[in-house]
Amino acid sequence: MPASDDSLHHTATDLRLATFRLARRLRCARATDSMSDTQLAVLADLRMNGRRTISTLAERERVTAPSMTNIVNLLEEQGFVVRTPDDDDRRRVQVDITEAGVAIVAETIRRRDELLADMLREVDYTEAELATLREASALMRRVVER
């Protein structure tokens, strides 16, 4: 039986508030302070999915292609990405992450996971409660991966 609209709206409000506050706290933990959230998201996307065009990166981050070009320019200047001509269409450029970019993403993930583990430790959850949180995270991933 599907959930009622009232239940969906109440759940949506609770999840929005909790995830917004959690995301804000986690964003503070990063490997470098000189990188924006969008720059870090681009690097994470490249690390996870491999080479991408600027237009694909722009679409994924919901910014314009010119804005993404500026972001990629900054990342390239810092040595975190490189541009390569597309194999099929020489007019198109692919963006690849460098080892330095991979290292920034990995260190940021490590710091954020450590911060969240510390936050969970402070609440003193039981094993059953932690299992519930893992189940909830799987359900939330279903929402965002659609």
pLDDT of residue 52: 93
Q: How far is CA 5 from the centre of its chain?
A: 29
pLDDT of residue 107: 95
pLDDT of residue 88: 81
Distance (Å, whole) CA 109 – CA 101? 12
pLDDT of residue 125: 92
Domains of the chain: 5-144 (1.10.10.10)
Which residue numbers in the chain have pLDDT < 50?
Answer: none
- Length of the chain, please? 146
- Sign of the torsion angle spanned by Cα atoms 69, 45, 136, 19: negative
DSSP structure class, residue 3: P
Distance (Å, whole) CA 51 – CA 82? 10
pLDDT of residue 127: 94
pLDDT of residue 145: 82
pLDDT of residue 32: 83
pLDDT in tens, 36-71: 889 999 999 999 999 999 999 999 999 999 999 999
